[in-house]
Amino acid sequence: MTDVVVRGLSKSFGSNQVLKALDLTVPSRQFVTLLGPSGCGKTTLLRLVAGLETATAGEIRFGDRRVDRLPPGERNIAMVFQSYALYPTMDVARNIGYGLEVRGTPKAERQEKIGAVAKVLEIGHLLLRKPKQLSGGQRQRVALGRAMSRRPDIFLMDEPLSNLDAKLRATMRGELRRFHLDLGTTTVYVTHDQLEAMTMSDLVVVMNEGVVQQIGTPEEVYGRPANLFVAGFIGTPPMNLIPAKVRDGVLTVAGAPLRVPLPPGAPADVVVGVRPQDVTMARPGDPDTIPGKVWMVELIGSERLIEVEIAPKVRVTAEVRASHRAALDDVVAVRPDPAHLHIFDPATGAVVSTTAP
């Protein structure tokens, strides 16, 4: 089994630097997700690992083998593309076996491996069909089968579920995770969908503007975001990020003091982060609350989101039970849970302290 080590990797397209001296280690047998918004460089990183792009600087190793000068075919990787990229003129069996075919695997052995993969993916009845005769989900399975048939060292997946409908995506998420656990192949998975990242990954690499923002387990990137970007990007609805001030060691949000332990040397201006799930509704005047007016109320099934304007253009969202009633312009107060507060330095974006466990 193989780990992937990336050191000082940079990639520019003309004057546009997409990756900036990036360091990353993908441990062997782990399912690692590159998560970030469009244009953050995650797909470029994956393509560099695959050998489909050439790095401007830096190196890539698979185990102790340096691979960044090798063509894709010599890296022993398999890749699943967003568009599946099935060979349109070949039937499903040949699509799955093409990698074995170009490597000179004898026909009998090839047939055997194609059969085995088809059985696992339950696509045995589709082997003689052409890609255009398959549904989206079936194409996805064939693309997966093509990747699995060669028993590669590393799986690379570029948003493989993004073309599927929501129901099928949920099913395939589970199946992909299951295949990974069964095969134990090191997997690098690219997505902009945080639900996929959170549900499938051993490790999540959050990226923005060509830089790794945080590497951690799904629990870590959700519960202890390293900076403002991660805090704002991970979580639905997103974390409340509220400008606040520190005066004489006391945190003040929109004029209301909150009793929160602060580290020594905290900057005078900070941003307080608190997830909507960690905000409760209170009455104005209650201690450790921030007063405001209800600005918007949204029902999202079993919960209700109440957006409270605590200062001009500054709003805090609380996620409460659906049974909680609130009307627009009601005078209320919100209470951030002091045990789940994150304090950020707005100048650097880095977390200053966090009370989350």
Task: Find the binding residues for another protein in span 243-282 (CB under 8 A).
Answer: none
Footprint on residues 314-343 left by another protein (CB under 8 A) = none
**Using CB under 8 A, which of 139, 146, 169, 340 touches another protein?**
146
Task: At 211, give phi and psi (nearest 5°).
Answer: -130, 140
Tokens representing 219 are 């629990």
Tell me the closest approach of the beta carbon of residue 3 to another protein, in angstroms.
20
Residue 102 as a binder of another protein (CB under 8 A): the answer is yes
Sign of the CA dihedral with 193 first, then 195, 196, and 202 last: positive
Report which of 200, 329, 199, 347 is spatially closest to residue 269, judged by C-alpha positions: 347
> Which range of residues in 65-73, 229-237, 299-307, 332-340 is near another protein by CB under 8 A?
65-73
Range 215-221, long-range pairs (CB < 8 A, 24+ positions): 215/24
Among the listed residues 77, 126, 241, 341, the single contact to another protein using CB under 8 A: 77
Spatial CA neighbour of 28 closest among 118, 153, 121, 112: 153
With CB under 8 A as the contact rule, the residue among 5, 70, 85, 266 that binds another protein is: 85
Buried b (16+ CB within 10 A) or exposed e, 133-147: ebeebbbbbbbbbbb
Q: Is 150 in the site for another protein (CB under 8 A)?
A: yes
Yes or no: say if 227 and 233 are a contact pair by the CB < 8 Å rule.
Answer: no
Q: Which stretch binds another protein (CB under 8 A): 48-56, 174-182, 230-238, 341-349?
A: 48-56
Q: Which is nearer to another protein, 85 or 120 (CB)?
A: 85
Nearer to another protein, 75 or 340 (CB): 75
Residue owning tokens 């099934």: 301
Task: Look at residues 101, 74, 45, 80 and name the one whose alpha carbon lies nearest to residue 179.
Answer: 80
Residue in 56, 59, 63, 81 binding another protein, rule: CB under 8 A: 81
Residue 187 Cβ vs another protein, minimum distance, rounded to whole Å: 15
Binding of another protein by 88 (CB under 8 A): yes
State which of residues 98, 305, 309, 326 lies at the interface with another protein (CB under 8 A). 98
Instruction: Decide: is 89 part of the binding site for another protein (CB under 8 A).
Output: yes
Q: How many residues bind another protein (CB under 8 A)?
A: 24
Q: In what order do the strands lie in the sheet with 57-62?
A: 16-26, 4-13, 57-62, 65-66
Interface ranges with another protein (CB under 8 A): 50-52, 71-74, 77-79, 81-83, 85-89, 98-99, 102-103, 146, 150
